[in-house]
Copies of this chain bind each other. A is one copy, B any other.
Amino acid sequence: MTQINRRIVLASRPEGAVTADNFRLEEAPLAELAEGQVRVRNRYLSIDPYMRGRMNDAKSYAEPLALGDVMIGATVGEIVESKHASFAVGDKVTGMFGWQDYGISDGAGVRKIDDTHVPLTAYLGVAGMPGVTAWYGLNKIIAPRAGQTVVVSAASGAVGSVVGQLAKLAGCRAVGIAGGVEKCRYVVETLGFDACVDYKAGNLYRDLQAATPDGVDGYFENVGGEVLDATLSRMNPFGRIALCGMIAGYDGQPVPLKQPQIILTMRLLVQGFIVSEHLEFWPEALGTLATLVASQKLHYRESVVDGLEHAPDALMGLLQGKNFGKQLVKIS
């Protein structure tokens, strides 16, 4: 076993868009394990939009990272050393071990996973936090009835792809919003959405109207900005909006909502949420999602970058919408 842990830390806070200068790759010797701890060799790191927010020094739902902190992130890996009664060497686990080769934990937040029928990487996506995010927002906020129309932005992404597929399984009309012809084709042809609007085509309002002839009853928002304005204008009375992500605003530029009065005139519910605050629903959601993956009723796509050192590029690409499907970094 190598005695060196490579890790990527926050070197400086972004001013506007994230740049490579904001990160620093460090090497440090492995620390000794204390009683009750385990050491995990990370295999895959999940790259997610929320990471951008944590790089700011701003009031938000989570404490910001301090300069010098290891970048946070969900990982799947394998126990390589254990002084904890519940974990054995060789166990596959998922946890928040961040952008590094190895992590240490007392077991809190570490979950053993079974990759017999569900691939290891799926636990970072469709059968992990992004999947539960989709499940929670759709079922606990939007709560659609069969026949209603559900729209989701970033529809080809890790969360959006699950939202639409779950909506279809619930008997809804599922409409995606995604950037580019290729992503939209994937959303309709592979994921089985009823329609997908390419926001890059330049006719967002018109195309969305055509794709939602009966209006919109539920909207799962991963993006914010213009697509939120456009979808808001299509909402039916008593519609529900699950507000999950605001990529467009992470760089700090103001992204106003143009017509907030629609929330009143259509008597909408708008609920911001982060799924880690609803842990009571995770077992049910994870069970449902893993079963759907194992029975191939949930499709997903991954975009894997090889090598921890490329994690910054993976995040920057994600924030620019360059990824296609769940963005992962293969660490080992």
Taking Cβ atoms with an 8 Å cutoff, the residues of A that contact B are 53, 59-61, 224, 228, 237, 243-246, 249, 254-261, 263-274, 277
Contact in complex: B256, A266 (CB < 8 Å): no
Residue numbers in B under 8 Å from A224 (CB-CB): 260-261, 264
Q: Which B residues are in CB contact (< 8 Å) with A246? A: 260-261, 264
A231 to chain B, nearest CB (A): 13
Known: A228-B260, A257-B257, A260-B246. A237 touches B61 (CB 8 A): yes
Interface centre among A224, A268, A272, A274 (most CB of B within 10 A): A272
Find chain B residues with CB under 8 A from A260 CB: 224, 228, 246, 255-257, 260
Instruction: Tell me, in angstroms, the Cα distance from A177 to B299 when the chains sit together.
Output: 51
A229 to chain B minimum Cβ distance, whole angstroms, is 9
B residues near A258, Cβ cutoff 8 Å: 254, 256
Q: Are B257 and A59 in contact (CB under 8 A)?
A: no
Q: How far is the CA of A224 from the CA of B265 in the complex (A)?
A: 13
Closest to A270 in B: B270
Report the bound CA distance from A265 to B243 in whole Å: 10
Task: Write the chain B residue with the least CB distance to A265.
Answer: B60
Residues of B with C-beta under 8 A to A273: 267
Query: Known interface pairs A61-B237, A268-B272, A272-B268. Does A243 touch B263 (Cβ–Cβ under 8 Å)?
Result: yes
Cα-based distance from A56 to B249 in the complex (angstroms): 33
User: A246 to B260, alpha carbons, bound, how many Å?
Assistant: 9
User: Can you give 20 A-B contacts (C-beta < 8 A)?
Assistant: A59-B265, A60-B265, A61-B237, A61-B266, A61-B267, A224-B264, A243-B263, A245-B264, A246-B260, A256-B260, A257-B260, A260-B260, A263-B270, A263-B272, A264-B272, A265-B272, A269-B269, A269-B270, A270-B270, A270-B271
Q: With A and B bound together, what is the CA distance between A126 and B101 in angstroms?
A: 65
Which of B254, B256, B266, B272 is A272 in contact with, Cβ under 8 Å? B266
Give the CA-CA distance A250 to B67 in the complex, in Å. 47
Minimum C-beta distance from A327 to chain B (A): 20
* Alpha-carbon distance A264/B224, docked complex (angstroms): 10
Specify the chain B residue showing the minimal Cβ separation from A245.
Answer: B264
Shortest distance from the beta carbon of A118 to any chain B beta carbon, whole Å: 30
User: In the complex, which residues of chain B have a beta carbon less than 8 angstroms from the beta carbon of A53?
Assistant: 265
Interfacial chain B residues near A270, Cβ < 8 Å: 263, 268-271
The chain B residue sitting closest to A60, CB to CB, is B265
Name the distance in Å between A257's Cβ and chain B's nearest Cβ.
4
A271: chain B residues within 8 A (beta carbon): 267-270
Our pick among B245, B264, B269, B272 for the contact of A244 (Cβ within 8 Å) is: B264
- Residue from A60, A256, A264, A265 whose CB has the most chain B CB atoms within 10 Å: A264
